[in-house]
Structure 1
Amino acid sequence: MKSYQKYISIVTASLLLAACSTTAPKKNVNKVVTPKETVTQSAATIQNSQNSNTAAAAYADKKQLAPKSLVIASTNNACVDGFNFLKGVSHGQFDTYSTDYSKISQNYSFLNTNKEIMDKDSRELLSMTLNKKLDTLCMKVQYAGFEGVKNKLKQLSDI
């Protein structure tokens, strides 16, 4: 009986992963890279032009030595990437949408468990509804991430 449960768990996990991967592919975005030479040259220019101002030179030195922030690698799945991004932007919305995702996942498990005994129309209707719900949730997550960035930009404009 346990091997049957393992089989069901594996099939459910693969179904969920397959459902998540049906979203539109993520577009490649060119990353803006600041060459280290430019940063070093700018700091040297600040130091040379403002020898009398040690505070500016100290500030430039601190900026050069700032630690690199943690970079989250892409999963090549726009929905999962959206969830990862939203977690950093708005943890409250992340929790809400994670709960919704869990409900959808439970229904995918139900579908997978009962697909052999369901009539074709019911199975197809539930499958289409779950796919639609998952796509809608992924778009909500993406939009919430956009709104989070917009709020961060608004906070920066108030400085």
Structure 2
Amino acid sequence: MEFAVGPALLAGLAGTVAMTAAMMMGRVMGMTSMDIALISGGMLSGDERRARLIGMGIHVVVMGTVVFGLLYAAVFHWFDSASWLVGLVTGLIHGLVVGAMAMPMMAAVHPRMRGTGDGFRLDTPGFMGVRYGKGTPMGLLVGHAIYGVVAALVYAAVL
């Protein structure tokens, strides 16, 4: 399987849209209070409205479409397969790394969690984001699995 930037970006965008929709449903259903846009944008702004706008841009365009779209495509290229199974496993591993490593470390570097930034404050997520609600750990895994499966299927379809 060849590596292709255009399909990688399209696959990343599609995966991000699907994952974000699932995350928003989890919030609406009360399974989690995690707000990825506020967490991401809060790194750069203490104004909640501005932070959400910046954060959604970071989440959708920078991280979901570009960074992880290209990384997942590299994984598909390496495995010579963009099957739903490769996408699922890659997404689950990604979710575990985010929940077990990135989220617990966030409290040490995020100005709204450390209390050193101006404006609003955010709770620290803890291991697998459990402080954002009992459904957050499973939501992290399911959301990233959705991203991986959708990214794989879209990448394979447009190559």
What interval of TM-score do these two structures reach, taking the shorter chain for normalisation?
Answer: 0.3 to 0.5
For normalisation by structure 1, the TM-score amounts to 0.36
* Structure with greater Cα Rg: 1
For normalisation by structure 2, the TM-score amounts to 0.36
